Structures are given as structure tokens and as C-alpha cells.
Amino acid sequence: MGTQFYVGQVVEPEDLFFREGFIGELWDVLEKQHAILTAPRRTGKTSVMTHLLHKPADDWLVLYLNVQDTSNPADFYLQFLDEFNTRDPGVFRKLFSKGSLLINKALTAVDSVEVSSLKVAIRDNDKELANKWRDRLDDLLSRIRQVDCKVLIILDELPDMLLAMKKEDPNLLMEFLGWFRKQRLNPMPSRDPIRWLIGGSINLMGTLDAMGLVDRMNDPEIVQLPIFTPEQVGEFVETMLSGQGCIFNADVPAEVAKQLGRPIPLFMQMATQELYRTWRKKERELTVDDVSTVFSNLVTSPEARDKLQHYHSRIAHYYDGSTDPAYSLLNILSLSERGASRKLLRQKYDELQFAAGIERPDHEASRAFNELMLHLENDFYIVEIENDRYDFSGGLLKAWWRKYYA
């Protein structure tokens, strides 16, 4: 394993820590069925997917589509074609060698450098695509099913695409979900060489549930990305620092795990990289005090702020209708010494609703509050530290939130 630091970039397969067993299990699942891999941002989904892409199991062809900025089925189709043609031009051409005038015309245009990409060439030529996306996609998938290997299609950040589709046209979202479901179930997975792996940093099932559409996506197996244990965090720190030739006190790795709280891999990397920089500057043994300094400096470093900022702004993005209470509850927690009881948070929540002029029966307020708490927990902001008591999931996020927002 390499000892290169990654602070936000996708981790290369050879530098990926603690995922070997999980990736093996994931391939086993994919042998049998479609799967959903959801986990909060910055926890390593895309890195795992990249491993599947670059180190596929035997007999698999893997395509990777990040559909974060895709907002309609026609664009999805174009992106799909483009990815296939980029990943394996040979197989792609074989796929379309018969009976597809449009695609062959587009390929010729690309070959003669008339147009910059397949996407553009097809968009220019296929005037009916906006209405006929279903036929086009069906045709593409039935051609893929003729390939003599299994084909894994990874759709990273799919919940974003579904939300964008809904915004553009709610009916189109329904149609797309209907089409997608049919493709996953017919042929049934045991007879289908195609597998879908769906990923995303927002809770897909929660999002679909809120739209009343959970039944459209309940067939794939839901796979959880394992959370690193404190021992693994310690091992990571140990490996990285030793690998760079640092001298450090034996208590340092465990102290990083402790201060990190719930280990978000990105923050684990950032803290360890900062420790390494401290060592370079001071050239003496690193101590537990250095760990504390690193964590308090991280909160104000521009590098960390960039990454942390996202945790704040995504709430405005994704917490439809409960943005303000979400911010307020997190403010309260960030100022607390050791978190707050659920009862107190509920009380604050009711006060806020009252002040905002929102009146509703108690059972509805309860439901909305419970949903908000679940959301915050699912998205890794908070954690139940003991019975009915909640706090920020990690010290870094908490300290940062307190400093900039509370």
C-alpha cells in the first residue's frame, strides 16, 4: 500500500485502506443482484467504485457514470453512450455494427474529427431523442446483453439526478423510474448479464420515500459501506506516519482516533497529513499535544474550511422545508459541552416552529421532528452518544460549526 495522502481526491485502488474484504463482498452481491451503496459524503464510495472499475472481477466489463449533473433521461442516454465508447471503443463498435444508422453516422463524424464527441454528434443528429429516450435506452441495453461478459453499470450520485429530474419535470421522473425498474426486473437478475450499482451521498430511500416513490427502487440489495473502527484509524495513522519516516509517540495514533470522533475518512486523511507537516516543520518526536494542536488548527485552515463548508450548504440544498430547524438544532449542539437530550432538542424545535408561525397537531410535529433527527443521523451530522442524548458525530465538524455558525 502506498503512503500518499488524499484529501478529497478519489483514492487509487493501491492506496485504498481497509476495503479489501468489503469489495470482495460487494462483488459477491453483484454476482446475484443489483445493489445500492449509500453512505455520507467523503466516506469513500467513489473510491470503492473506482476500484471496481479499474480492478474488475473476472469476466466483468465495468462502466462508471457520475450522474450528479444529469437532469433528464436523454442526457443520461448520451452520457451512457459516451462512457461506453470511451471505456471500450472496440466492444462499443461491435455492439452497434448492425442496424444503427444514427450511431454509426455519429461514430464516423467523431472519427473524422468533424465533431468533438460522440455526445455532440448524436445530439446533433438524433432529433427525436427527447421523446424517444426509452426506445434508445432499451436498444442500448438489449445490445449490451449480447456482449459475452457481464456488464456492471455504476451510477454514482443517482439521488442527485432523480432530484434534478423531479425539478425539471415530475412526470419525467416517474417515467424514468418506471423504465429503470422494468430494466432491473426484466430479465430477472439471475438471467441478466447487466448489473446496476447505484450510489449516492444522500439517503436515496429517504429521498424517494419523501416523494412517495420508494416502491420504485425497493428491489436492489442495500449495501452499507463499513465505518472505520478506532483501531483502523490508529493503524492508518501508524502506517502513514511510519511510511513517511516520522518519529511519534506511541499514543499518537489512538489519540487521533479519539479526537476524530466518528471517523470520516477524509478528515482522518487531513488530520494525519497535518501531523506529518508538523513533524516536517519541527523535526522532533510528535506528541499527543501535537494532535490537539493539529485538530484546533484544522478548524481554521482554508483547506479544511473548503471541505467543511459543504456540510453546511448541503443542508440548504437537501433539507426541503426543514432547513432552518436543522441549522438551529446543530447550532445548539455545537455550543453544548456534551450534546443535548432529545427532549431538549424537541422543545427547541417546537419553539422555533411556533416563532415561525407554523401551527400543527402534535402528532405531525412529532413526525416532522423525528424525521429531521433521523435525517441528521443518516447524514452523519449527529449521533446518539448515550440513551436519548445526541451530539455531533465528530469533534472537527462540531468545533468548526461552533466557530463559524453558532
Ligand X SMILES: Nc1ncnc2c1ncn2[C@@H]1O[C@H](COP(=O)(O)OP(=O)(O)O)[C@@H](O)[C@H]1O
Q: In the range 183-212, which residues lie near ligand X by CB under 6 A?
A: 201
Half-sphere exposure of residue 234: CA atoms within 13 angstroms, side-chain side:
12
Enter the C-alpha cell of residue 406: 453558532
Assess 19 for contact with ligand X (CB under 6 A).
Answer: yes
Phi, psi angles (nearest 5°) of residue 39: -165, 160
Contact predicate 193/239, CB 8 Å: no
Which residue number, 27 or 179, has a Cβ lying nearer to ligand X?
27
Which residue number, 11 or 291, has a Cβ lying nearer to ligand X?
11
What is the DSSP secondary structure assignment for residue 38, as one 8-state letter? E
Q: In the range 295-334, which residues lie near ligand X by CB under 6 A?
A: none
Q: How far is CA 45 from the centre of its chain?
A: 5
**Residue count at the site for ligand X (CB under 6 A)?**
22
Assess 11 for contact with ligand X (CB under 6 A).
Answer: yes
- The C-alpha atoms of residue 298 and residue 275 are separated, in whole angstroms, by 10
Assess 269 for contact with ligand X (CB under 6 A).
Answer: yes
Exposure class string for 205-238: b at 16+ Cβ within 10 A, else e? bbbbeeeebeebbeebeebebeebebebbbbbbb
Exactly one of 26, 30, 34, 47 binds ligand X (CB under 6 A); which one?
Answer: 47
Which residue number, 259 or 322, has a Cβ lying nearer to ligand X?
259
Assess 42 for contact with ligand X (CB under 6 A).
Answer: yes
Exactly one of 22, 26, 34, 43 binds ligand X (CB under 6 A); which one?
Answer: 43
Orientation angle between helical segments 362-378 and 323-335, nearest 10 degrees = 70
Enter the C-alpha cell of residue 329: 438544532
Assess 254 for contact with ligand X (CB under 6 A).
Answer: no
Q: Which does 263 bind (CB under 5 to 8 A by kind): ligand X, Mg ion, none?
A: none
User: How far does the chain reach from its first CA to its final CA, in angstroms?
Assistant: 41
Exactly one of 45, 51, 195, 398 binds ligand X (CB under 6 A); which one?
Answer: 45
Strands of 246-320, DSSP E: none
Assess 8 for contact with ligand X (CB under 6 A).
Answer: yes
Q: How far is the CB of 238 from ligand X (least distance, A)?
A: 13
Assess 370 for contact with ligand X (CB under 6 A).
Answer: no
Angle at 55 between CA 63 and CA 202, to 5 degrees: 55
What is the DSSP secondary structure assignment for residue 225, as one 8-state letter? P
Stretch that binds ligand X, among 37-45, 100-108, 176-184, 285-293 (CB under 6 A): 37-45
Exactly one of 4, 7, 88, 389 binds ligand X (CB under 6 A); which one?
Answer: 7
Positions in the binding site for ligand X (CB under 6 A): 6-11, 16-19, 39, 41-47, 201, 265-266, 269
